Structure 1
Amino acid sequence: MNSQKIRFFRQRIPSFECIPGCHDCCGPVTTSSEEMARLPRKSAAEQADALENLSCPHLADKGCTVYSERPLICRLFGTTPALACPHGKRPEMMIDDAIEQQIYQFFKETRQVLV
């Protein structure tokens, strides 16, 4: 059931071009256990180092190493005024308010874990 919801939401979050090399929105985030299971496991040391640096353990020199599987929260950055890009980048059409609210409700209803 959650897989279908995640797929549904992913299809409705607009995409846009980020500034190459920017990772200003890549910090410690939480995500559903199901989304987390799609990501490669990181060691406790890698997790601790990322958290200490207020970063994501999946961020590398050339950007996100899990971009195609990035969690919903990461996909939302820049698509809503609540999570605006600090550089003003955004899609032509921002996310639909009703879909955004459904995503936030999904976050509330599912167990969230630190990436």
Structure 2
Amino acid sequence: MTDPRDGAGVGALEAIYDSLPPMRCAQQCWDSCTTFPVNALEHRNIRDQTGVTLTGGRARPGQSIPRCPALSFANTCTIYAARPLICRIWGMARGMACGYGCVPEGGHIPDEEAIILINRVLLLSNDPAATPETALHQLLQSGEVYQAAVAGGMLIALGIDPLARYKGEPR
């Protein structure tokens, strides 16, 4: 793991980003952009590249889901060049397919690959608040059972007990 303040961490992060297949974006999916947790490494990368410090978003009129704080009033991404992995894999993974028909070159990446990439970034960030276990917990809380099961399998492959946080808790 690297220190999120270390330039090597940013280089490894960029290598992960560069490993993604190219995709032509129709720039219509802004309505899917909401607030999201950003680990320390990606947060620093966004701030260093764009000068933007992400804070909580506000809900759109008539909706309860907060709007991404990086969206401009014209619904364009103000941090696009430095956007975090979750934004980069939107539309690329089968389970996160673009509703507007955008498909990456070579087709969608398997959900398992997307989860591996997410876990690699979380482990790279060395952020105690952003761990693979936390990602699994968030998937379970959101009701994404299939993706939680795949994430659990990835954690086991990494030698991490995916249920450790739940052991001993009353049911």
TM-score range relative to shorter protein: 0.7 to 0.9
Q: Give the number of the structure whose alpha-carbon radius of gyration is greater.
A: 2
Greater helix share, 1 or 2? 2
**Greater RCO, CA 8 A, separation 6+:** 1
Which of 24, 29, 34 pairs up with 1:27? 34
Deviation at 1:3, TM superposition (A): 2.0
- Within the alignment, does 1:76 sit opposite 2:85 as a pair? no
Q: Deviations over 1:25-55 (max 9, x none)?
A: 311122221111223125x6xx252595521
TM-score by length of 1: 0.74
**Would the aligned equivalents of 1:78 and 1:85 in 2 still touch at CA under 8 Å?**
yes
CA distance in 2, matches of 1:68, 1:48: 20
Which of 67, 85, 93 pairs up with 2:80? 67
Greater strand share, 1 or 2? 1
RMSD: 2.7
TM-score by length of 2: 0.53
> Structure 2 unaligned runs (5+)?
3-8, 131-171
Which of 109, 119, 123 pairs up with 1:105? 119
Q: Deviations over 1:64-86 (max 9, x none)?
A: 00100000110000111121111
Q: How many residues align?
A: 109
> Structure 1 unaligned runs (5+)?
none
